[in-house]
Amino acid sequence: MANSEPKAEAALKTLLGTFKNTSFAEADIVVVLGGDGFLLRALHQTLTSPKKIYGINCGSMGFLMNKFNLNNLAKRLEKAEVVNLTPLRMETLTEDGTRHEHYAVNEVSLLRESAQTAHLKISVDGVVQLETLVCDGIILSTPAGSTAYNFSAHGPILPLDSNVLALTPICPFRPRRWRGALLPHTATVEIEVLDSDKRPVSATADFNEVRSVKKIIIRENPSKVLQLLFDPNQNLAKRILKEQFEG
């Protein structure tokens, strides 16, 4: 799979000179040429059609990708290490009573849709932890996604094997001193949008957005395991750890 960027298209053309292309459904391993966003979309396809994904960075950041290298690909795939990722499942109820379900590899984020701040009621495992959080929004991040939007919102970077999720507010106004929480990966987080008719909020699982949400329930889905392949010297856990010491 390749995105539409010239570097990715050129890499695909080169690889097709050596390897036979096949459909996503028939492949055992899917080689993804692009950036992190394109890789996330490929991972979402494996929710219903389990595959191992090997990413080659043809984008900018490429945090979830292997370094650009088209040499000895067959041997590198044989030696690649598997990283298992468990996605979050986001269930939403909208103002009109419609229910939606989406999955997130990186994070679920809530954002205000208007000029007014969002008012959110936060419960964890059925216990109300914040009666009213006044903010621009909130993020629930997996360890794999903790270096992305979560980190930009001043959330913590989570080791890949930490078995925790990061709940990080976006521009919190009240409570003044609340800067987030670390939750067990088994936690169920329920967020109720207060005054949702005049303070509308959208919810996004990676790239799937639901607007005018009223209630959101987020939990891990251990029955869905996504598999990423990395060259031994591109270990994702070590890369995430190193991010904590980057300037």
> Is there a single domain that holds both residue 51 and residue 133?
no
> Is there a single domain that holds both residue 216 and residue 231?
no
Torsion of CA 48, 49, 52, 53, to 10 degrees: -70
Residues 36, 96, 161, 197: which is the catalytic one? 36
* 36 given a catalytic annotation: yes
Q: What are phi and psi of 34, to 5 degrees?
A: 165, -145
> Is there a single domain that holds both residue 67 and residue 181?
no
Residue 1 falls within a domain, yes or no? Answer: no
Supply 235's token pair.
């270990």
* pLDDT given for residue 241 in this prediction: 87
> Is there a single domain that holds both residue 115 and residue 197?
yes
> Is there a single domain that holds both residue 78 and residue 102?
no
The 10s digit of each residue's pLDDT in 142-194 is 999 999 999 999 999 999 999 999 999 999 999 989 999 999 999 999 999 99
Distance of alpha carbon 137 from alpha carbon 155, whole angstroms: 13
* pLDDT given for residue 138 in this prediction: 98
Domain extent for 202: 88-220
* pLDDT given for residue 201 in this prediction: 98
> Is there a single domain that holds both residue 190 and residue 235?
no
Residue 237 falls within a domain, yes or no? Answer: yes
The 10s digit of each residue's pLDDT in 16-41 is 999 888 888 889 999 999 999 999 99
CATH number at residue 230: 3.40.50.10330
Which strand ranges, in their side-by-side order, compose the sheet holding 88-94? Answer: 99-104, 88-94, 213-220, 189-194, 118-124, 127-135
- Alpha helices of 80-208 — where are they, by DSSP H? 149-152
* pLDDT given for residue 43 in this prediction: 95
Residue 37 falls within a domain, yes or no? Answer: yes
The 10s digit of each residue's pLDDT in 74-125 is 999 999 999 999 999 999 999 999 999 999 999 999 999 999 999 999 999 9
Domain total in the chain? 2
Residue 53 falls within a domain, yes or no? Answer: yes
> Is there a single domain that holds both residue 67 and residue 187?
no
At 204, is the pLDDT very low, low, confident or very high (cuts 50, 70, 90)?
Answer: very high
CATH number at residue 166: 2.60.200.30
Residue 100 falls within a domain, yes or no? Answer: yes
DSSP bridge partners of 188: none
Distance of alpha carbon 136 from alpha carbon 203, whole angstroms: 12
* pLDDT given for residue 221 in this prediction: 95
Q: Is the pLDDT of residue 61 over 90?
A: no
> Is there a single domain that holds both residue 101 and residue 46?
no
The 10s digit of each residue's pLDDT in 37-54 is 999 999 999 998 899 999
> Is there a single domain that holds both residue 117 and residue 179?
yes
